Structure 1
Amino acid sequence: MNKNELKQLRRLLFLEVTEAAKLIGECEPRTWQRWEKGDRVIPNDVAQIVQMLALTRLERLQFAFNDTDPNYRYFETFEEYKAANGCGNELMWRVAQSVSASLICEREADKWRSEEIIHK
């Protein structure tokens, strides 16, 4: 994994640098920033966790949407996700947010296209 992939996947997973550093890297935010800048080598365990989270996201997008499953819905806070899920993992909440954002785009795309107004 290179520095750009790390940054792109972190953003795709709705994680701020401080959150990624705490939840994935178990490091200081500055260390995570150095990985994203390319100043330091990204540890293999960090790359593997990020890749697995991205794969989990991709797999969820390949299944039929289930609005009763908390892993397909948007929750404003981690506490809301935990309450709906019965348990909680902050990284899985972030994956759920990313999945939810993608699903809203898919569901609403045709409507948005029909309403599109091009200003010249």
Structure 2
Amino acid sequence: MNPLELQALRQLFFMSIDEAATYIANGTESETWRLWESGSQPIPSKIIDTLMLMNKKRKQRLDAIIEKINNRIGNNTMRFFPDYADFRTVYTEGDYIEWKIYQSVAAELYAHNLERLC
């Protein structure tokens, strides 16, 4: 993974540098994350592995929802949770990373006119 790909995946999950440093890099300083994105320091393999796993989970969720859409009649709506607390009211076991994956999936489905958000 190169620095541009790191930045693209972070943004795909609607995460700021501070959030990514906290939740993906387990409390790493935000400046360290900036150095990875600028190419000034190599990206640790653990960070790459975590982002690749997040992206894999995202793709699995997208595929599962698209399959349901293709078999569904009527309105296609998906919840969009403006903040983590709202997400936790429905997905009580969900963590911060799961919320970001969910939001990314919902936004993409909406962008492709496959789901409306509610």
TM-score in terms of structure 2 length: 0.82
Aligned position for 1:87: 93
Cα distance between partner residues in 1 of 2:4 and 2:114: 30
Gaps of 5+ in 1: 67-71, 110-120
Q: How many residues align?
A: 105
Tell me the equivalent position of 1:11. Answer: 11
Matches within 5 A, 1:50-89: 50-64=51-65, 73-89=79-95
Distance 2:39 2:65 in 1: 38
State the structure with bigger RCO (CA 8 A, min sep 6), 1 or 2. 2
What's the C-alpha RMSD, in Å, of the aligned pairs? Answer: 1.9
1:108 CA displacement: 5.8
Superposed structure 1 runs of 4+ greater than 6 Å apart: none
% identity of equivalent residues: 31
Q: Deviations over 1:13-36 (max 9, x none)?
A: 111100000001120000000000
Letter in 2 for 1:37: S
> Separation in 2 of the partners of 1:93 and 1:42?
24
Specify the code of the residue in structure 1 equivalent to 2:31: R
Which one has the bigger helix percentage? Answer: 1
